[in-house]
């Protein structure tokens, strides 16, 4: 019987076209599967907790794969980090029950969107924060975000997807805080639609700069039409922070 191995992964997504395998682009999943193939001698199919878009980062992505390899977990962990590029690191390797599935077993995910609210972005964070030179009113952004908490149809915040998906999701919490020139938007939900967090972030930025009122967010939800929400915020500001099981 094959073992089911769970990986916790960190990656800096700048050089990748997202997590999910694509025919004509380099992705994190592809790089990971190549390394696992070298280590196990098998063709490995890696199941991720969810896709992240091109340029998006992860502090806590989770994936699992089945293998007939008898290699000790520590050997797999050490060999993976030796064979992966420096912008991908496996932080833990563990054997889990056969029924565990990184995608379907997930209860919720937490994403963070980071905004550099300044004219000139610190070069040490430029890959991890999106610039906004308009002065943002964080209190207005917090008022607007309250309309998004709970179970709603988020079709207005969904980018066009390859597959038609149910657009109802439950946002458990949204936290917005300012620390110096950085504004952090943390969102926990039972699931996310394509570009949902980036579209929410873009809309909240419009509120913070005074272009949208806080109550307009409630109206955007009711419209169920992507054309009414704010612009899609840049990918570099987004990071998958945690997957809960």
Distance between CA 202 and CA 195 in Å, rounded?
10
Catalytic residue among 53, 137, 161, 179: 53
Question: Catalytic annotation on 53?
Answer: yes
Kindly indicate the confidence band of residue 111, based on its pLDDT and cuts at 50, 70 and 90.
very high
pLDDT at 3: 97
pLDDT at 161: 66
pLDDT at 162: 56
**pLDDT > 70? residue 51:** yes
User: Is 175 in contact with 112 (CB distance < 8 Å)?
Assistant: no
Domain ranges of the chain: 3-96, 108-244
Which of 157-166, 177-186, 202-211, 224-233 has the lowest average pLDDT?
157-166
pTM to 2 decimal places: 0.94
Distance between CA 196 and CA 202 in Å, rounded?
10
3-96 and 108-244 agree in CATH topology: yes
- Alpha-helix residue ranges (DSSP H) falling in the chain: 28-40, 73-83, 138-146, 196-208, 216-223
CATH of 3-96, one of 3.30.70.860, 3.30.70.580, 3.40.50.300, 3.30.420.40: 3.30.70.580
pLDDT per residue as tens digits for the range 189-214: 999 999 999 999 999 999 999 999 99
Strand segments, DSSP code E, in 12-141 are: 47-48, 57-67, 88-96, 108-116, 130-131
CATH number of 108-244: 3.30.70.660
pLDDT at 189: 98
Distance between CA 230 and CA 156 in Å, rounded?
10
């Amino acid at each position: 019987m094959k073992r089911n191995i769970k990986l916790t992964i960190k990656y800096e997504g700048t050089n990748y076209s997202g997590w999910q395998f694509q025919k004509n682009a380099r992705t994190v999943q592809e790089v990971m599967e190549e390394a696992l193939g070298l280590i196990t001698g098998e063709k490995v199919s890696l199941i991720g907790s969810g896709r992240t878009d091109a340029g998006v980062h992860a502090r806590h992505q989770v994936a699992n794969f089945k293998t007939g390899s008898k290699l000790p977990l520590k050997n797999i962990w050490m060999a993976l980090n030796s064979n992966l590029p420096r912008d991908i690191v496996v932080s833990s390797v563990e054997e889990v029950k056969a029924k565990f599935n990184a995608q379907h077993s997930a209860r919720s995910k937490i994403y963070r969107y980071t905004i550099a609210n300044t004219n000139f972005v610190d070069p040490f964070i430029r890959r991890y924060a999106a610039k906004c030179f308009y002065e943002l009113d964080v209190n207005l952004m917090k008022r607007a975000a309250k309309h998004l908490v709970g179970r709603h149809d988020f079709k207005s915040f969904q980018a066009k997807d390859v597959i038609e998906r149910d657009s109802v999701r439950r946002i458990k919490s949204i936290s917005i805080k300012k620390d110096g020139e950085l504004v952090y938007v943390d969102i926990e939900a039972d699931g996310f639609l394509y570009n949902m967090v980036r579209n929410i972030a873009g809309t909240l930025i419009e509120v913070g700069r005074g272009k949208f009122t806080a109550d307009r967010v409630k109206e955007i939800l009711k419209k169920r039409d992507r054309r009414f929400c704010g612009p899609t915020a840049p990918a570099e500001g987004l990071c998958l922070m945690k997957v809960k099981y």
